[in-house]
Amino acid sequence: MTAIEYQEVCKRFDGNSAYSVDHVSAQIEQGEFITILGSSGCGKTTLLKMTNRLIDPTEGRIVLFGEDISTVDPVVVRRRMGYVIQQIGLLPHMTVEENISIIPKLMKQDKAKIRDRARDLLSMVELDPDTYGSRYPSELSGGQQQRVGLARALMPDPKIMLLDEPFGAIDAITRVNLQNELLRIHSQTKKTFLLVTHDINEAMKLGTRVMVMNGGRLLQFDTPKNIIRHPADPFVEALIQSVLEQREFWEGVEDD
């Protein structure tokens, strides 16, 4: 089943003549792990934010499970999706458990159920609920905070997860761990993941398919293997080339 469909989506911000997102069309099936790759200013974050109506497109349509989202209340659209950002944005005055539970609590769901689910999710992101549930965000490391951010996004059991450079501010070793866990959570939950990154290694490692963007346009949308073997555009080719050069350096060191 098609989870997300972008139909000729464009975004032009006030006072700008150029498109930030330029006629992007793509279909994403349920259960895919899509990574959106591009350098800063390429429109990848704008595309992601249009998916949960943080930004509305200037032209074109976005359809989620057959429903045009411009006809749905933004708050409702957002509650159906998980959203994780680089700065995490945990509320400093709430404990970890309160942070995770905030939306269902605001929706007045059953308290015992909320609590059980919050504890399950903490376990899923490998944080012991008894140890960490009652802590404040300031008492956690950056990596732990982002695990909580992930649990908060998973709380309403959304079909779609949107992640905007979730590991951008996290050190290299922790980042690799978190990437592996994200893959595990993806295969456990079978949700549709959409992750924005400027790190080509991250994009290729995580994505079942990768969208490569530049200057607002979607240059190529394919599996990592196909992109590497058949780059569809000079920009994509240059991107692949930069990784290959790096690899030569590493291999050269190993050979010595």
Partner 1 sequence: MLQDCVNYIQNNYSQIAVQILDHARISLLALLAASVIGIFFGYLASISGKGERWIMGVFQVLRVIPSLAILVLLIPVMGVGTKPAVTALTILAIPPVLMNTCVGFLEVPPFMVESGKGIGMTDRELLMHVRFPLALPMILSGIRSALVEVIASATLAAKIGAGGLGEIIFTGLGLNRADLLLIGGVLVGALSLLSLAVFDLIRRLLMPYRYRKKG
Window 86-125: residues binding partner 1 (CB under 8 A):
87-89, 91-94, 102-103, 106
Q: What is the DSSP letter of 224?
A: H
CB-wise, 88 or 203, nearer to partner 1?
Answer: 88
Shortest reach from residue 31's CB to partner 1, in Å: 22
Output the CA torsion sign for 48, 75, 143, 126.
Answer: negative
d(CA 123, CA 239) in angstroms, rounded, equals: 38
Residues pairing with 68 in the sheet = 63
* Interaction between residue 65 and partner 1 (CB under 8 A): no
Q: CB–CB of 27/55 below 8 Å?
A: no
Instruction: Select 34 or 151, whichever has its Cβ closest to partner 1.
Output: 151
Query: Near partner 1 by CB under 8 A, which window of 32-40, 58-66, 73-81, 245-253?
Result: 73-81
The helices-and-strands tally (H runs, E runs) of the chain is 10, 10
- 8 A C-beta contact, residue 45 and residue 196: yes
| Six-digit token string for 3 | 């989870």
Residues touching partner 1: how many (CB under 8 A)? 29
Nearest Cα neighbor of 92 from 143, 136, 133 is 136
Which residue in the set 162, 206, 210, 227 belongs to the binding site for partner 1 (CB under 8 A)? 162
Segment contacting partner 1 by CB under 8 A, of 70-78, 111-119, 166-174, 233-241: 70-78
Q: 151 vs 239, which CB is nearer to partner 1? A: 151
Chain residues that interact with partner 1, rule: CB under 8 A:
52, 54, 75-76, 78-80, 82-83, 85, 87-89, 91-94, 102-103, 106, 135-136, 138-139, 149, 152-153, 156, 162
